[in-house]
Amino acid sequence: MEIKAPKGTQDILPDEIHKWHAVEKAARDTAELFGYREIRTPIFESTDLFARGIGEGTDIVEKEMYTFLDKGERSLTLRPEITASVMRALLEHKKTGGDLLKLYYIGPIFRYERPQKGRFRQSHQFGVEAIGSDSPQLDAEQICLAMEFYKRLGLDKLSVDINSIGCSNDNCRPAYRRDLITYLKENTDTLLGVLFGEIDNIGNKGLCDDCARRMVNNPLRVFDCKKDGCKQIISRAPRTYEHLCDDCRAHFEKVKETLELLGVKYRVNPNIVRGLDYYTRTVYEVLSESLGAQNALCGGGRYDNLAGELGGVKVGGTGFAAGIERAIMVMDEIGKKPERPGIPVIILPVGGEKAMNQAVTILKKIRDSGIPAELDYNNRGFKLLKKSEEEGWRFAFIIGEDELKEGKVSIKHLIKRDQKGIETAELEELLDSGGKDPVGILENLFL
C-alpha cells in the first residue's frame, strides 16, 4: 500500500523551499531589528501546560490537541501553539524576575483541525513574545513589527484589527461577561433568533449548538463564530471596549495612540476576542483579503495572567504568532516571487575518466573560491544543459579531450550564449583573486 503524508500535513519540496527561506529570513531580520532574540523550546510538552495555559474550555484544548501517553505513561501533547511553551521555559529557568525579555521563534505547531485552504494539522509559526512589561507601547511595537515583516515579504492590502478584552478585575471583564450573558439570554429565545438564526436547537434560537454551549462556559467565544445567526446576534451585543475598567481603558487608548505615532493603520473591531483563554487587554489580528475564510495572517495580544496560571509570579506579557503557510499563500496569490538562489556553475566532463578527474579538481577550486558549483556526475553531457534555467546555472565549464590536451577549460556563458577558452592555471589564479565577488570575475570574462 502506498504510504502518504498524514492528512493536513504538507511536504515542502526543494522547488518551494526558497519561499520558506525568504519568509524565515524576513522573520529573523525583522525580529532582530526590533531587539528580539531567538528561543527554541521542545515540540512536545506536558499536556497540563496547554490545558492550564490555553484553557480547558477552548477549542484547541477540547478538540484539537495531539495528545499521547509515552512509554512512561506521561501525558504529552504536540504543541498546538508556542506562547505557553515560552512562558514555561522562562519560568523554569527563573528568567521572569528581572528585566523585559524579548524573544522570537519559528517552528511547527499541531492542531487536529478540519483541513481546508490555509488550515493544516501541522503548520508553522513565526512568533514574538515580550515578557516582563505592561507597557502599551510594547503592544503597539509588536503590531508594527508584524507589519514590517509583511512589508518585507511584499504583502499589501492587509488590515490590522484591534480590540481590548480587559482584565480579570471584577469591574472589568467579569462584569462585561455578565452583561454579555444577559444579552445573549435575552436575545436568543426571541423572534430575532428565528429571523436570523439557524434554528437547529429550538431552545437556543439564533445561536448554533456550539455557541449555546459557549454562552455558559466561555461567552466571549461566541464572537468567533462564523455562522450567520450568531453573527447577527453578536453584531448588537455589548462591546468589550465599552466596558473596560479605567486602567484597561487607559491602556487601550495608549496602544492606539502609539500605533498612530508609529504610522500603523488599524481599526477597532469588537469581534476580535481570540480563541485562547490567556489573553488580557489588547488583542489583535492582521487580516488579508487574499485569504478566504481563514483570513487571519497573524494573531496576538497581551497575556498578563499566563505566568500566574502556570504557577509563577504574575508578570506582563504580550506577543503574536504569524502563520508561515498563510503568508506564503498570499505571496503566491499576489505574484510575489522571492528570488531562488541558483548554482551559477555546472561542470561537464566530456572526455572520459581523465576529464572527470580534472573536473573534480576544478570543482573543488571553484567551491573554495566561494562560487556554488555542481558537477555532471551522471555524465549526461550537453543534454543536462536543458535544466540550466531551472537550476540557475549561468556558466558551463566544459572539459573535453581537446581541453585536456591544451591544458584548458572552455567556459560557456549560458545566458549570453558565448564561449571562451581559458588556461587552467590562469583560471586558478583568477579564482584565487576573486575576493568578495568571485562570480563577478567569471562575468568579467565575457564583457
Judged by CB, which is closer to ligand HAM: 201, or 295? 295
Nearer to ligand HAM, 327 or 345 (CB): 327
Residue choice 325, 376, 403, 428 for contact with ligand HAM (CB under 6 A): 325
Helical pair 352-368 and 424-432, crossing angle rounded to 10 deg: 20
**Do 127 and 27 meet the contact criterion of CB atoms below 8 Å apart?**
no
Q: Cα Rg for the chain, rounded, in angstroms?
A: 29
Piece of the chain touching ligand HAM by CB under 6 A; list 169-177, 315-323, 367-375, 395-403: 315-323
Stretch that binds ligand HAM, among 116-124, 240-248, 250-258, 373-381 (CB under 6 A): 116-124
Question: Cβ of residue 67: shortest distance to ligand HAM, in angstroms?
Answer: 16
Which contiguous run of DSSP H or E holds residue 254? Answer: helix 246-261
124 to 163: interface string for ligand HAM, x by CB under 6 A? -x-x-x----------------------------------
How would you classify the pairing of strands 66-69 and 75-78? antiparallel
Q: Segment 333-362, which members bind ligand HAM (CB under 6 A)?
A: none
Residues 62 and 10: their CA atoms lie apart, in Å, by 24
Q: What CA–CA distance (Å, rounded) separates 336 from 342?
A: 18
Judged by CB under 6 A, the residue of 36, 120, 149, 150 near ligand HAM is 120
Q: Are 146 and 322 in contact (CB under 8 A)?
A: yes
Q: Is 420 in the site for ligand HAM (CB under 6 A)?
A: no
Using CB under 6 A, count the residues that bind ligand HAM: 24
Interacting residues with ligand HAM between 269 and 308 (CB under 6 A): 296-301, 303
Minimum CB separation of residue 60 from ligand HAM in Å reads 7
The residue among 321 and 414 lying less far from ligand HAM, judged by its C-beta, is 321
Q: In the bound complex, what is the minimum distance in angstroms from residue 2's beta carbon to ligand HAM? A: 25
Nearest approach in angstroms of CB 348 to ligand HAM is 44
To ligand HAM, the closest distance from the beta carbon of 131 in angstroms equals 10
Q: Which of 295, 291, 292 is nearest to 269 (CA)?
A: 295
Query: Which CB atom, from 118 or from 166, has the smaller least distance to ligand HAM?
Result: 118
- Nearer residue to ligand HAM within complex by CB, 82 or 396: 82
Smallest gap, in angstroms, from Cβ of residue 164 to ligand HAM?
A: 14
SS3 267: strand
Of 207-215, 228-236, 321-329, 419-427, which part binds ligand HAM (CB under 6 A)?
A: 321-329
Tell whether the torsion through CA atoms of 277, 146, 158 and 164 is positive or negative. positive
Q: Among the candidate windows 23-31, 187-195, 316-324, 337-345, which touches ligand HAM by CB under 6 A?
A: 316-324
**Where are the extended beta strands (E) located within 198-315?**
267-268, 280-288, 296-302
Binder of ligand HAM out of 319, 344, 351, 438 (CB under 6 A): 319
Determine the Cα angle at 162 with ends 157 and 166, to 5°. Answer: 170
Cβ proximity to ligand HAM: between 121 and 205 the closer is 121
CA distances to 36, 46, 176, 319 from 129, rounded to whole Å, are: 8, 21, 27, 4
* CA distance linking residue 137 with residue 118, whole number of Å: 31
Contact present, 194 and 205 (Cβ < 8 Å): yes
> By C-beta, is 129 or 428 nearer to ligand HAM?
129
Specify the residue, 55 or 127, whose C-beta has the smaller distance to ligand HAM: 127
Nearer to ligand HAM, 222 or 366 (CB): 222
Question: Is the separation of the CB atoms in 30 and 147 below 8 Å?
Answer: no
Question: Which of 87, 99, 70 has its CA nearest to residue 127?
Answer: 87
C-alpha 220/C-alpha 215 separation (Å) is 8
Cα(364)–Cα(445) distance, integer angstroms: 20
Identify which range of 44-52, 205-213, 320-328, 374-382 contacts ligand HAM by CB under 6 A. Answer: 320-328
To ligand HAM, the closest distance from the beta carbon of 127 in angstroms equals: 5
Q: Which of 22, 45, 78, 81 binds ligand HAM (CB under 6 A)?
A: 81
Residue closest to 241 by CA, chosen among 220, 225, 224: 220
List the beta strands (DSSP E) in 188-295: 267-268, 280-288
Among residues 113, 189, 247, 391, which is the contact residue for ligand HAM, using CB under 6 A? 113
Q: Which of 333, 350, 375, 322 is nearest to 147 (CA)?
A: 322
Q: Which residues bind ligand HAM (CB under 6 A)?
A: 81, 83, 111, 113, 118-120, 123, 125, 127, 129, 296-301, 303, 319-321, 323, 325-326
